[in-house]
């Protein structure tokens, strides 16, 4: 941690722990993303690549429907 960082005080048993709030927020976001990826059937990097290609193809087709 450095000066100016936002911190969180957490109790763990009889101890008080000082945590960086950005790390907590990122960990929560990461857990949510993993959960949503699981719901969407995404379990590998290749699944992400395939999804991105599919979405890009759909967007391209929508933008160019009237062309030709």
Question: pLDDT, tens digit, for every residue of 4-45?
Answer: 889 999 999 999 999 999 999 999 999 999 999 999 999 999
Written as six digits, the tokens of 40 are 């969407």
Q: Give the DSSP letter string of the chain.
A: --TT--EEEEEETTEEEEEEHHHHHHHHHHHHHHHHHHHTT--SHHHHHHHHHHHHHHHHHHHTTT--
Position 67 scores a pLDDT of: 81
Total of domains in the chain: 1
Q: Which domain holds residue 34?
A: 7-63
pTM score above 0.85: no
Please report whether residue 68 resides in a domain: no
Q: Is it the case that residue 68 has pLDDT exceeding 70?
A: no
Predicted confidence (pLDDT) per residue in 50-66, tens digit: 999 999 999 999 999 87
Length, in residues, of the chain: 68
Please report whether residue 33 resides in a domain: yes
Please report whether residue 2 resides in a domain: no
Position 25 scores a pLDDT of: 93
Mapping DSSP to helix (H, G, I), strand (E, B) and coil, where does residue 25 land?
Answer: helix
Burial of 20 (0-12, 13-18, 19+ CB in 10 A): middle
């Amino acid at each position: 941690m450095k000066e100016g960082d936002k911190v969180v005080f957490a109790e763990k048993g009889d101890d008080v722990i000082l945590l960086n709030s950005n790390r907590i927020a990122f960990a929560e976001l990461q857990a949510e993303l993993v959960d949503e990826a699981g719901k969407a059937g995404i379990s590998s990097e290749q699944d992400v690549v395939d999804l991105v290609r599919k979405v890009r193809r759909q967007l391209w087709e929508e933008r160019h429907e009237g062309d030709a």
